[in-house]
Structure 1
Amino acid sequence: METLSNLESFVRSAESSSFSAAARRLALTPAAVSRNVAQLERNLGVRLFQRTTRGLTLTEAGERFLNSVGAGLDGIQGAIAEVTAKAGEPAGVLKLSMAPGFGRRHVLPLMPAFMARYPALTLDINVENRRVDLVAGGFDAAIGGGFELAPGVVARELMPAHGVVVASPAYMKGRKAPVTPADLADLDAIVMRSPQSGRAKAWEMRNRAGDGMSAPLRPSVFLNDPDAIRTAALMGMGVAMLVMTDLGTHLESGELQRVLPDWYLDIGAISLYFTSQKLMPAKTRAFVDFMTQAFREQKMAERYSAL
């Protein structure tokens, strides 16, 4: 009979293609995970992984074995997690990832109340403008948009991510206000480069009626950070596309104004990302439930909709 630790080491290594990533998730050393997998291979009499300097690749036998045991292991661990969650207070280190601007403005202000409710938790927050690999990075949860749903990762939508075109009143003074996205070709544009192509990210906009139109851009400034783009817009350097949640109070104060109030960019959704609910530890469940309730009570989806 195989031990649960051997099977768990194999499944988590297969999911992340790395003994080191599996070790971080299991709170073991990479050597211990490697030994567990090697023992499992000896006991089964087959090689489950091809090991190279670039990582792990499942053999044909390994793929068949993963398909056979993966769901069963999730069920066993789900039962253990459920009993453990009900037996005690959420505790330990909760490792989170979030974008800098969104995290500072909308997540961190909620954390004092969260910590007061769960004093046995320690927060380890990673703030950066990139989409992390939850499994390989050992994260319990992430907040953002556009994450790839790798095996074992699920998403819970918190609010829509709508981009709007804004400019300072000083910049628009004396200029003809555009009526459609096509008119933006006459204005200076503050744009973000695509990290993949290096080109300016296109603005594919739609209106309240659902009509779509591409905005031709005349870039005058290239920046790679939303906060820097907002600052450039406040300084009157041109029109900018910003997500509603990155605008802060600048629309209400009049420091920035919507240039095409009937048009917006549908970027997708801002969501909570976490590993499979069957395996969710009490600390992650507490965070997911707390954030979902807080965003609902604060009507974040309605407040930051461009419609």
Structure 2
Amino acid sequence: MARSFDPVQLGSIELFCKAAELGSFTAAAEALGVTPAAVSRSIARLEQRLGVRLFVRTTRSIRLTEDGALYRAECQQALEQIAEAERAITGRQTTPTGLLRISVPTTYAHHRLLPLLPAFAQAYPGVALELNIGNRNVDLVDDGYDLVIRLGEPQDSRLIARKLEDATLGLFAAPAYLAERGHPQVLADLAGHDCIQFILPSTGRPLPWLLRDAQHRVVDHAFQSRQRVHEDVLGVVTWARAGGGICQIYHFIAEEAVRRGELVEVLPQLAGATRPFSILYPQNRHLSARVRAFVDFVVEAVELVNIDTESTGSRL
């Protein structure tokens, strides 16, 4: 089949990426064992073939143009995939190495993932970890992440999802608040309490509480509140610990505060509803050894944590 594109100059692309990384043709030449003139000629050929300028050149420095920055991002990913494919074929991928970029929500980062990372780092010293911790849903493919951990059922057909757990939810309040306002005994009692809402960043609307009714069915409990938290869901926990009212949060987040006596679970008969957390990665990308190692490690570690929790006979 005849080619419909110009031959890809992998050597020139590698020189271009190295020059962009180091900010210098001379430094790139030294790093790759060629002359600065060879680097300059290779990049000039790339610019001629693409019909765009990749660098703005001065007598003292170079910097990427907007087109150059875009081209570098795509080329760097392509070179890494080629290197990974070669390592996999030659058997050099038995030891995971390289940078792993991960996006994870605040709740799961602080109370699940971060406590696991020292053990992962010890097991895989060749892997560097870079975490984006926040509640904004990044675009895994377009933003260049290797993995994301997300709440809810994944809808993106480009991604493969492995469920980490179905995290159970409960209602919690500080002992001082309950001493002053009383313990709610049934669902209707919540109308007389300060219930702290979390506003979803994606919709700007309150996140309904998930509760189990008398028939053990999961129902949405929607309510109006004068106390709301935006962006950081952990804010509802801190507010509740300070005596501000009742919050709904995952048992795995509240457990330490409960052990310390800072929170008490209320209406436990309504608890038990769950929301899923999953780890996702692109289905059309070569699965590197470091991605595979991280996914397997986290899935197994979270499973062990949950088994240990169940063996104690309590969620808390």
Q: Are residue 190 (structure 1) and residue 212 (structure 2) matched?
A: no
Consecutive aligned runs of 4 or more in structure 1 exceeding 6 Å deviation? 77-81
Shift of 1:301: 8.4
Question: For structure 2, which runs of at least 5 residues remain unmatched after alignment?
Answer: 7-45, 51-82
Which residue does the alignment assign to 2:139? 133
Alignment of 1:223-242 (within 5 A): 223-224=229-230, 225-242=232-249
Which residue does the alignment assign to 1:26? none
Residues 2/221 of structure 1: CA separation in 2 closer, same or farther (3 Å cut): farther
Which residue does the alignment assign to 2:177? 171
Radius of gyration: which is bigger? 2
Q: Deviations over 1:97-155 (max 9, x none)?
A: 11223213321222222122222221111111122221111111112312634233111
Which residue does the alignment assign to 1:206? 212
Which residue does the alignment assign to 2:108? 102
SS at match of 2:196: strand
Q: Aligned partners of 1:117, 1:201: CA distance in 2, in Å?
A: 38
Which residue does the alignment assign to 1:274? 281
TM value normalised by structure 1: 0.67
SS at match of 2:142: helix
Shift of 1:156: 0.9
Q: Are residue 143 (structure 1) and residue 149 (structure 2) matched?
A: yes
Residues 201/88 of structure 1: CA separation in 2 closer, same or farther (3 Å cut): closer
Alignment of 1:41-190 (within 5 A): 83=89, 87-146=93-152, 148-190=154-196
Residues 119/216 of structure 1: CA separation in 2 closer, same or farther (3 Å cut): closer
Shift of 1:210: 2.3
Question: For structure 1, which runs of at least 5 residues remain unmatched after alignment?
Answer: 7-31, 37-76
- The 8 Å contact of residues 191 and 229 in structure 1, kept in 2 or not, is answered as yes
Q: Aligned partners of 1:209, 1:294: CA distance in 2, in Å?
A: 34
Q: Which amino acid aligns with 2:279?
A: L
Q: Which amino acid aligns with 1:295?
A: V
Q: Deviations over 1:198-231 (max 9, x none)?
A: 3322223115852344435351311122221111
- The 8 Å contact of residues 91 and 121 in structure 1, kept in 2 or not, is answered as yes
TM value normalised by structure 2: 0.65
